[in-house]
Amino acid sequence: MSALRPIPRGALAAAGLAAAAGSFVACTGEATHQPLQPAQLSEAQARSLQQMNEAGPHPFGGLSWSYGFGAGCVLRVQRRYQGVPDGVTDLALAGHVVEVVPYATAGFGVKARDPAHGGTVDLFDAAQRADADAFARAASRLIEPCRK
């Protein structure tokens, strides 16, 4: 008597779907990131983070954004291009300032700049200056305690 038994047809289909699903997740670019360490946010900071996350999903130039905030003043910026993951940045915000920059062709970018070390990180893009300014105010309120 053989130890091998035929595999039911449904089991092969299920295994194939599971493998395909795993491949799809791998192809989407959704990298797994360590969870942010929990942060104690003031009411104003929590409201600012909420405002940023309400603005982020409205695409401009194909980009949309979402945000998380963790201990050590770490802002997680998740960017999508036309709905496809396009990068995750964890930014330690101590010493950063938030600026609105007009783009040459159209729209405005909101950047976090580190005056002491140089360089900027993209936080948000908007078609209208008022939207970029509102986002910059929310981001500035979120990181204000990080400057102390």
Tens-digit pLDDT string for the chain (148 aa): 444 444 444 443 434 433 333 433 444 455 567 888 988 999 999 999 999 999 999 999 999 999 999 999 999 999 999 999 999 999 998 889 999 999 999 999 999 999 988 889 999 999 999 999 999 999 999 999 887 6
CATH number at residue 51: 2.30.29
Half-sphere exposure of 146 (CA within 13 A, CB side): 25
Tell me if 10 is assigned to some domain. no
For residue 111, give the H/E element and its range: strand 108-113
Inside any domain, residue 72: yes
pTM over 0.85: no
What's the total number of domains in the chain?
1
Q: Can you tell me the distance from the alpha carbon of 33 to that of 43, in angstroms, rounded to the nearest whole number?
A: 26
